[in-house]
Structure 1
Amino acid sequence: MKKPNDVCTVNCVHAQAVAAAQREMLPEKEVIGLAELFKILGDPTRVRILRALFPGELCVCDLATLLGMSPSAVSHQLRVLRAARLVRYRKQGKVVFYCLDDDHVRALIAEGLDHVRHG
């Protein structure tokens, strides 16, 4: 049986490289948090919502119109994004406006988009 080309054919450990990688390992809590964040960002609708909020705040009705969705479906996605601290809201009378939580969110999406466009 032929071995794949992308697997080591000898068993050797590069101790210095392993030690350097070990220093970069994250605590389990951070690994889980980061995986959860990427899971949330793995939904195309949530990515569209975040990108729609780049220019500034929009109300739920604005987002529903923009995305061609019902306000209740948009609200559900916004609850997920709010729980992950990716968006925040403010009320003005009976209208609820959403915006990106902070510049970290903008940078996260921008970096991800750079990676997608680069490849």
Structure 2
Amino acid sequence: MNYDKENIEICSCHIIHENIVSKVKETITDNTSICNMAEFFKVLNDPTRLKIINALMLSEMCVCDISALLNMSQPAISHHLKILRQSKLIKYRRDGKIVYYSLDDEHIKPIFNQCLAHVDEK
């Protein structure tokens, strides 16, 4: 990217607001949690995985059903399910030969809905 150096706004003051910096430093989220959050958002940074999350918000489903819903191959869906499972966003249960997937905790649905509300905001 080519930036016009004359149009970049820079803080020209030399006063550091020590009280603000100290207050924020005491309560800012720790680096480990920030890195874990970044990993969480990386997992969700895929339209197929978001579609799977959306589908599982509505119903427990097996791989065959998700595959039919998204018009994708079962191996492709299984790959995405594995990533979501490893990230503890979804869980599974076995009923005979069929494996059913569902959301792993109650935090996922509000995060999805909040993001949707944000992107749909006019």
Normalized against structure 2, the TM-score is what?
0.87
Deviations 1:14-49 (A, max 9, x none): 222222321332222212111100100111111110
- 1:71 and 1:32 map into 2 onto residues whose CA distance is 31
Report the secondary structure of 1:54's partner residue. Answer: helix
**Which residues of 2 match residues 1-119 of structure 1 at below 5 A?**
2-5=6-9, 7-118=10-121
- Report the AA paired with residue 86 of structure 1: L
Stretches of structure 2 lacking an aligned partner (at least 5 in a row): none
RMSD: 1.6
Number of residue pairs aligned between Structure 1 and Structure 2: 118
User: Post-superposition shift, 1:3?
Assistant: 4.1
Normalized against structure 1, the TM-score is what?
0.89
% identity of equivalent residues: 37
- 1:68 and 1:12 map into 2 onto residues whose CA distance is 58
Q: List 4+ stretches of structure 1 deviating above 3 A.
A: none
- 1:23 and 1:111 map into 2 onto residues whose CA distance is 28
Stretches of structure 1 lacking an aligned partner (at least 5 in a row): none
Deviations 1:64-86 (A, max 9, x none): 01111101110110000001110
